[in-house]
């Protein structure tokens, strides 16, 4: 079993300024967005220009940050933030929801499309392939922070990782299982899935490869966005089986996590949209 090294969350510190790895992961994501966007424009088959790409980045950043934070507050820790309203502003400490950020970006794309008088679906088709590598960067930020760790796994799994940050949860689990109690006594942590890395690989790298390759050829309007929507929901649903549910939520109906229930509509709408747009916009 490997032990998470408990990285210093601060990457660069020049008093009184401290830049955190979590913030850097977002910056890297936005830089990858611009780089891939320029490649998409050079490939053609899009109404986007370099100026529009640069303009959209501002809209997208606001959508990601505001939507991601509000989504986390509403979907995951609403009662906590009602009692601690000032904590809502501490974005640099983590606490972002992809599903909330996704809704924020959808609203940003709609407003951006109205401003530039282009189809919202075409904006979505252009943006979708640029997103997964940013998600991958964010998951690396989660891993460095030692947050969103995985569920307890088989002690023989060579990739298992102990997270000292999860010690309180490990102690509670060890009470229910004599074998885990022995492991706690010897290693002080229990073996868990490094689920942040699973999500990095699935909803980051794998999703990027699938959507990027699919989008390289002209497709019916709406299909690329639908593939991203359903693909993300599918990969996130799978990864959630390895991710530890939030202790204040636990598992919900049918033994599914909040992340899985939020992903189900994405899978359904993505599949329906892929087929429907493929028929409706076949000649577009």
Q: Answer positive or negative: Cα dihedral of 264, 74, 125, 123.
A: positive
End-to-end CA distance of the chain: 53
Within 13 Å of residue 217, how many CA atoms lie on the same side as its CB? 3
Distance of alpha carbon 39 from alpha carbon 134, whole angstroms:
16
Q: For the beta carbon of residue 105, count every other beta carbon within 10 angstroms.
A: 24
Buried b (16+ CB within 10 A) or exposed e, 21-37: bbbbbbebbeebbeebb
Distance of alpha carbon 87 from alpha carbon 101, whole angstroms:
18
**Please, are residues 22 and 179 in contact by the beta-carbon 8 Å criterion?**
no
Whether 139 has a binding-site annotation, put simply, is yes
What pairing do the DSSP bridges indicate for beta strands 161-162 and 2-3? parallel
Can you tell me whether residue 219 is helix, strand or coil?
coil
Per-residue CA distances from 11 to 14, 23, 135, 200 (Å): 10, 9, 19, 20
**Please, are residues 118 and 47 in contact by the beta-carbon 8 Å criterion?**
yes
**Please, are residues 33 and 60 in contact by the beta-carbon 8 Å criterion?**
yes
Annotated binding site: 139
């Amino acid at each position: 079993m490997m032990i998470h090294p408990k990285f210093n969350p601060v990457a660069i510190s020049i008093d009184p300024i401290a830049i955190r790895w979590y913030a850097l992961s977002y910056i890297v994501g936005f830089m990858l967005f611009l780089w891939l966007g320029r490649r998409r424009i050079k490939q053609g088959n899009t109404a986007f220009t370099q100026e529009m790409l640069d303009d959209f980045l501002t809209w997208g950043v606001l959508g990601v940050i505001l939507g991601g934070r509000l989504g986390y507050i509403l979907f995951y820790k609403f009662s906590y933030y009602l009692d601690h309203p000032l904590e809502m502003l501490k974005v640099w400490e983590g606490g972002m929801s992809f599903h909330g950020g996704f809704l924020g970006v959808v609203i940003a794309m709609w407003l951006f499309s109205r401003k530039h008088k282009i189809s919202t679906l075409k904006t979505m088709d252009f943006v979708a392939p640029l997103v997964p590598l940013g998600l991958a960067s964010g998951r690396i930020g989660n891993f460095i922070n030692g947050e969103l760790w995985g569920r307890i796994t088989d002690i023989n799994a060579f990739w298992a990782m102990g997270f000292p940050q999860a010690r309180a949860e490990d102690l509670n689990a060890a009470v229910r299982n004599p074998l885990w109690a022995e492991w706690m006594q010897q290693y002080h942590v229990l073996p868990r899935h490094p689920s942040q890395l699973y999500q990095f690989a699935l909803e980051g790298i794998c999703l990027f490869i699938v959507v990027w390759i699919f989008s390289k050829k002209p497709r019916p309007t709406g299909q690329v966005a639908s593939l991203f929507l359903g693909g993300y929901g599918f990969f996130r649903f799978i990864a959630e089986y390895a991710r530890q549910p939030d202790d204040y939520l636990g598992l919900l109906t049918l033994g599914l996590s909040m992340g899985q229930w939020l992903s189900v509509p994405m899978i359904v709408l993505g599949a329906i949209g892929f087929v429907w747009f493929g028929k409706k916009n076949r000649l577009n």
